[in-house]
Amino acid sequence: MGCNKTFSQNRSKAKQECREQMSQSLQKALGISVDPDRVRLKTDKTDDPYYWDGPDDWADVLSENLSTLSNANLESLKDIVNKGIIHPRWKSQRGNLTGGDNTDLPYEFKMKDLQSINGKQQEEIARLREQCGDAAKRISEGEKRENELQNNVEKLIQEKEQFEKQVSYMQDGLRQAQITTEHYRMCNVECYSRAAEMLKVIDSSGLGRVQDPAFQGDTGDPFYFSNS
């Protein structure tokens, strides 16, 4: 007898806590106040303007009445409703989450229905605005980065032009040095050629050339002229 009483008390407590959680969910999601004792889980054949929606694996539970659920199911239902996994919707929105025919609803529920739809639309608008703001921010950052890269490219082009000018200047200097070197080489060749001709004239005139011991081993001309 004591066990049955304890079981009954536990069941009543679990059912009441589940009803209270569902009542809070109705107030939060749809803005309607329903006394916990009047909350229903299965509303297909009632005039309640709401129904409970959730994952497919909870379809069997949602098709039952609260009075037929086990204590374990009541505890699980309370927890999952609290987490928003199972949540109430307007019957007028069944199969059409953007709204539907609400002509059969009382006036106060019609207003709640429209307010709920408007609230969802406002949330969607706010979400889209936030996304647009993020996109605009990314575009602005991209344009800023593009400008920075363009400036870097222009700077590199200027540096390249300066480098090419320096290379051209160095090449001009190198060509001028080559021309000067060739000029001196030709002058040197001409000098040696004239000196050789003069020596031939001297030799043919009978003047002798005597080697100066002081110049032996030197790279210069080791001869000097003598009239003796």
Give the largest CA-CA distance in the chain.
Answer: 163
Residue ranges per domain, the chain?
2-104
pTM of the shown model: 0.43
pLDDT by 10s per residue, the chain, length 228: 556 667 778 888 999 999 999 999 999 988 889 999 999 999 988 888 899 998 888 989 999 999 899 999 999 999 999 998 999 988 876 654 444 444 445 555 556 666 666 777 788 888 888 888 888 888 888 888 888 888 888 888 988 888 888 888 889 888 888 998 888 888 888 888 888 888 877 777 655 554 444 444 444 454 444 444
Contacts of 177 (CB under 8 A, 6+ apart): none
**What backbone torsions phi and psi does residue 48 show, to the nearest 5 degrees?**
-65, 135
Tokens, residue 44: 């297909």
Q: Per DSSP, what are the bridge partners of residue 87?
A: 53
The helix/strand count (H/E) of the chain reads as: 4, 4
H or E stretch including 152? helix 107-204
